[in-house]
C-alpha cells in the first residue's frame, strides 16, 4: 500500500546514476504479471538504453511535448499547481534523452481493447519501480510523431506504442500526491448517488 500511496510522477531523474539490470529485469517481470484478457499477453516492452538512441528519442519527445504543453501556459499564470506541473513537464521534455532508461509499452496495432492489457502492465511496472526506489512517469506525447519513433527504433507498422516511460533514480522526494477523497470519486448503486451514511 505504501507504493500505491506514494507513487507519483517523477519527471526529474538522475542522468548520472544507471539503473541496475537486475532491477530492470525485476520491473519488467512485474509488468509481465499484469492481467491480460484471455491471457493473450500482447504487451511488448522496448527498452532503450543506448545513449544515442535515447538522445534522438528525447529530441522527438521534446519537440512534441513543448508543442503540447503550450496549452498550460495561460492556466499556469494563475494556478501555482499548474505552474509546478508545467515546470516539471518542461524539465522532462528538455531532459528525456538523458534519462538512464526509456521504456516503450507496445502492442499489436488494431488489437481490440489492447489498452486493457497495456495499462495494467504499465501500472505494475511503475509500482515495481517505486518499490525499488526508481522513479517513472507515464507520457504519450511521443505518439504525435509516432512514425519518427518507429523509424528510429525499427518498430514495425503493425505495432502501436502506447506510452513512453522514463526510468531512473528520482531527484525529488516520494510522497502522496493530492487526490480526491473516495466520496468524490464514487457513486453507489446508481450514477450520482452518494455512499449511504
What residues pair up with 167 in beta bridges, in sequence order?
101, 136
Whether 114 is covered by a domain: the verdict is: yes
Q: What's the chain's Rg over C-alpha atoms?
A: 18
Reported as a single tens digit per residue, the pLDDT across 177-192 is 888 889 999 999 999 9
At residue 112 the predicted structure's pLDDT band, cuts being 50, 70 and 90, is: confident
Whether 81 is covered by a domain: the verdict is: yes
Whether 58 is covered by a domain: the verdict is: yes
Whether 195 is covered by a domain: the verdict is: no
Whether 197 is covered by a domain: the verdict is: no
Strand order in the sheet with 159-168: 44-48, 101-108, 159-168, 135-136
What's the number of domains the chain is made of? 1
Residue 71 grid cell: 496549452
Give the domain range for residue 75. 2-185
Contact 100, 47 (CB under 8 A): no
DSSP state for residue 196 in the 8-state scheme: P
Measured distance CA(66)–CA(57) in Å, rounded: 14
pLDDT for residue 96 is more than 90: yes
Whether 192 is covered by a domain: the verdict is: no
| Mean pLDDT, residues 99-116 taken together | 90
| Mean pLDDT, residues 27-56 taken together | 94
pLDDT for residue 97 is more than 90: yes
Whether 194 is covered by a domain: the verdict is: no
Whether 196 is covered by a domain: the verdict is: no
Taking Cα atoms as reference points, which of 105, 179, 95 lies closest to residue 146?
105
CATH number, domain containing residue 112: 3.40.109.10
pTM of the model: 0.90
Amino acid at each position: 500500500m505504501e507504493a500505491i500511496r506514494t507513487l507519483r510522477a517523477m519527471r526529474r531523474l538522475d542522468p548520472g546514476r544507471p539503473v541496475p539490470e537486475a532491477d530492470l529485469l525485476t520491473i519488467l517481470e512485474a509488468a509481465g504479471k499484469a492481467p491480460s484478457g484471455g491471457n493473450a499477453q500482447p504487451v511488448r516492452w522496448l527498452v532503450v538504453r543506448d545513449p544515442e538512441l535515447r538522445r534522438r528519442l528525447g529530441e522527438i519527445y521534446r519537440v512534441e511535448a513543448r508543442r503540447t504543453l503550450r496549452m498550460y501556459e495561460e492556466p499556469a499564470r494563475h494556478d501555482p499547481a499548474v505552474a509546478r506541473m508545467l515546470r516539471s513537464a518542461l524539465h522532462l521534455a528538455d531532459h528525456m534523452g538523458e534519462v538512464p532508461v526509456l521504456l516503450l509499452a507496445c502492442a499489436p496495432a488494431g488489437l481490440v481493447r489492447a489498452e486493457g492489457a497495456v495499462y495494467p502492465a504499465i501500472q505494475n511496472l511503475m509500482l515495481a519501480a517505486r518499490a525499488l526506489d526508481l522513479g517513472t512517469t507515464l507520457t504519450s506525447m511521443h505518439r504525435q510523431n509516432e512514425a519518427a519513433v518507429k523509424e528510429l527504433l525499427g518498430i514495425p507498422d503493425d505495432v502501436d506504442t502506447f506510452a513512453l516511460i522514463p526510468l531512473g533514480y528520482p531527484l525529488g522526494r516520494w510522497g502522496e500526491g493530492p487526490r480526491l477523497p473516495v466520496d468524490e470519486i464514487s457513486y453507489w448503486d446508481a450514477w450520482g448517488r452518494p455512499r449511504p451514511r
